[in-house]
Every structure is written in C-alpha cells, then in structure tokens.
Homo-oligomer: A and B are copies of this chain.
Amino acid sequence: MSELAARAEKLDATDELGGKRGEFVLDDVVYLDGNSLGALPAVVPGRVEDVVRRQWGELRIRSWEESDWWTAPERIGDRIAPLVGAAPGQVVVGDSTSVNVFKALVGAVRLARLTDPARDEIVVDATTFPTDGYIAESAARLTGCTLRPVAPADVPAVLGDRTAAVLLNHVDYRTGRLHDLPGLTAAVHAAGAYAVWDLCHSAGALPVGLDEHGVDLAVGCTYKYLNGGPGSPAYLYVRRELQDRFDSPLPGWNSHAEPFGMRTDYEPASGAPRGRVGTPDILSMLALEAALDVWDGVSVEAVRAKSLALTDFFLECVAEYVPAGRVACLTPVAHEERGSQIALRCDDAGDVMKRLIEQGVVGDFRAPDVLRFGFTPLYVGFADVERAARVLARTLA
C-alpha cells in the first residue's frame, strides 16, 4: 500500500462524517459528480412511494391539506435555510434556478428604483454559468436596464449611481473558484445597489452566511450538494427586511395573500410565500424534503472542513501520481478562494473523462478542456480521492 493510500485509510477512520455515507445509495464507483447531480439518499425511495401511493393515490385532493402539500414550499425552504445561514421564513422552494434568477433580479431592480428611479444598470458575473447571463439579459431588457458583464473581481470598480442590481455566483461552476460574498455584497451596498447571489455550487458544501453578510436576494438549485434529485425545485431567498417591498415579476396565484379567495385583484402574500408562483411540483418537492433528512445533526462547518481536506488531499495525490505537465489546476489553491470541486485543464479532456468513467471514476467534462471533480463531503471519502487520482494518473500515463 502506498503512503497516500495508507494515509487515506487513516483519514477515513477518523472522519466524523464517515457514517453519513451509509445514508446514501452508492456502489463501488467513485462518484465525484455530486456537484452536478447528488447521489440518492436511501430514505428517498420509500418516502416517494408513500407520496405517490398513499398521498396521491388514496387521499387524492385531500392531501393538499391532510398531507400538508400546500405549505411544502416554505416548510422545505425552512429546512434549507440553516444550510445557507438564513433564519426561518426567508426561503421558499419552487421553480427552476433560472426562473428564480429572473424573480430575484427583476425584484432587485425594482427595489433599487424605489429609492432611486434613475438606476438602470445590471452588473453580472461575466464568467457565470450561462443561464444566469441569459436571464440577466432578459431581466435587463424587460426593465429597461443595460447589462454590464464583468469578472467578479472587477465588480467593485464598475459600481456606481446607475447600478441597480448585481448578480454573482458564490462558486464558479467551471473553475470551482469561491468568490468573496461578504466583501462583494458590502461593495454593492456601498453603491446603493442590491446583491443577488447564485448559490448553486456552494449551498451544502460550505457556509454561506446569507443573513450574517446582509445578502439581499439569493437563489440556488437543490440537486447538487443538497441531493434533491434530477431537476428538483430550486429556492429563492429574500432578506426579511426586503420582503414587504419585494415585487415579483411572476405573481402567480400561489403568491396571493388569499390564494383560495380567487380574487381578480392581486394582493401579494407577506413573507417568503411572496416568492411562489404556480402550483408546487409536489412529487419532486417531497423527494427533496426527504433528501434533506441526511443533514440532521450535520454542521456546515464540519462539511466545509472535510471538503477542504478532500480537495487538498486530491491535489496532493494528483501532484504525486500524475506525470508533470499533463494537467493544470484551474481551482485556486487558497482555501478562502476554493469551493468544493477541483477543475483540471487537460488535453483531450472529453476523451479522458470518458475513460475515467469506464474505470469507475465519475466526474464530468466541461467544454472545451476541463475535467471537473466534485467532492461531496457527506459521501465521498479519502480512499475514493486517492483512487480517483490513481486512475487519472494511469489514464494519462
């Protein structure tokens, strides 16, 4: 056994989150794609079966009340809240991330204009996951704003009297770079604008601190580190002090103060439900609710500590095993700039990833030349990490 393999064994033996792996359905594969689709929590299939067979099949329409379907969006939002550092009553689940980016960004522009109607610029992370950029462009067009794409580090320099809202990613989907949420949020506020954060690649992997850092609005998906299942509903956070002024561009009947009043005039609900739109997608939503059970007794700080230990160890193994010059790490080495993934630039990355997957190491490929490995601390161990680096080295040899 190599020194690194022996060390992995020791690290796994003392891993305080090690027991969590048993709460997931996993096989012999090293699954490093939880930053794309989280593994299946073992509790989910039974709960989904109950939702389908009993709640839908037997109770049918009565389940909207008796099975508490109606309140699921805010109830599940409150389960996600502590994972992103939010007090209860500020997170609501539903719709896709893209749709929530639209709500948040148009909402942010409208908030800014309440005090200064002349603000007409939306700043967006130029390196963002594409959908945020496309939706930002649409939000700008529909609100009469100009869209200004800049790299996150350059955001403070472009903020000014005209800035209405800024849309940023907490962790870059491609490089795994962790952006400075507290600092950038403070800069946005200093300019009198509103900060919208996309947490897709950070929630469930590291502390976010939405309340602590005064973030205005945030969105995130639930199918990566939150393991909600393929395409499970996203969430929207609106800071409590802004809720009464939040003016959604998608005011569906579910966000009405009196949804069953069937009134023709729209009166927005107070609190988190104001972010709802149409009828919630119950099957997917209750699968997500079950999936969140794995967080019972888990601290996000412990998850972050293990995440950094895993990515550190992966970089060490790669440096030791992989022939020099075959890969270049795109992910920052500094802990305060690193999310929970490692992105390696590599020739023929698409082909290399295919061969890794054939050998039981599952990451993913992002065009044109990136191998992406996500480390989910709840179910990835150090022996997995050592094996992944070993297989990568063999593949590149």
Contact = CB atoms under 8 A, between A and B. Distances in A.
Given A99-B99, A252-B135, A367-B262, A234 B278 contact: yes
Given A61-B36, A260-B367, A134 B283 contact: no
B130 A230 contact: no
Of A58, A130, A261, A263, chain B has the most CB atoms within 10 Å of the CB of A130
Interface in A85-140: 95-99, 102, 106, 126, 129-131, 133-135, 137-138
B52 A229 contact: yes
A279 B133 CA distance: 15
B283 A249 contact: no
A235 interface: no
A280 interface: yes
B57 A45 contact: yes
Interface stretch (A25-33, A178-186, A306-314): A25-33
Contact of A279 (B25, B33, B102, B231): B231
A255 to B, nearest CB: 8
B253 A129 contact: yes
Contact of A61 (B33, B61, B130, B135): B33
Contacts of A249: 102, 138, 142
Nearest to A41: B57
Given A49-B49, A262-B367, A98 B277 contact: yes
Copies in the complex: 2
B232 A283 contact: yes
Contacts of A192: none
A227 B39 CA distance: 29
A388 to B, nearest CB: 15
Interface residues of A, number: 81
A362 B60 contact: yes
Interface in A1-56: 25, 27, 31, 33, 36-37, 39-40, 44-45, 48-49, 52-53, 55-56
A278 B96 contact: yes
A230 B56 CA distance: 7
Of A248, A266, A279, chain B has the most CB atoms within 10 Å of the CB of A279
A63 B106 CA distance: 34
A250 to B, nearest CB: 6
Nearest to A132: B253
A149 interface: yes
Contact of A253 (B98, B138, B262, B287): B98
A143 interface: yes
Interface string A130-162: 110111011000110000010000000000000
Nearest to A248: B138
Contact of A99 (B49, B57, B278): B278
Given A99-B250, A283-B287, 15 more contacts: A33-B61, A36-B61, A37-B56, A39-B60, A45-B49, A95-B99, A98-B277, A99-B252, A126-B264, A129-B253, A134-B256, A134-B266, A174-B262, A233-B281, A282-B284
Complex A-B, nearest 10 residue pairs according to Cβ-Cβ distance, in ascending order: A96-B278, A98-B252, A98-B278, A230-B282, A131-B253, A40-B57, A231-B281, A25-B57, A142-B142, A134-B266
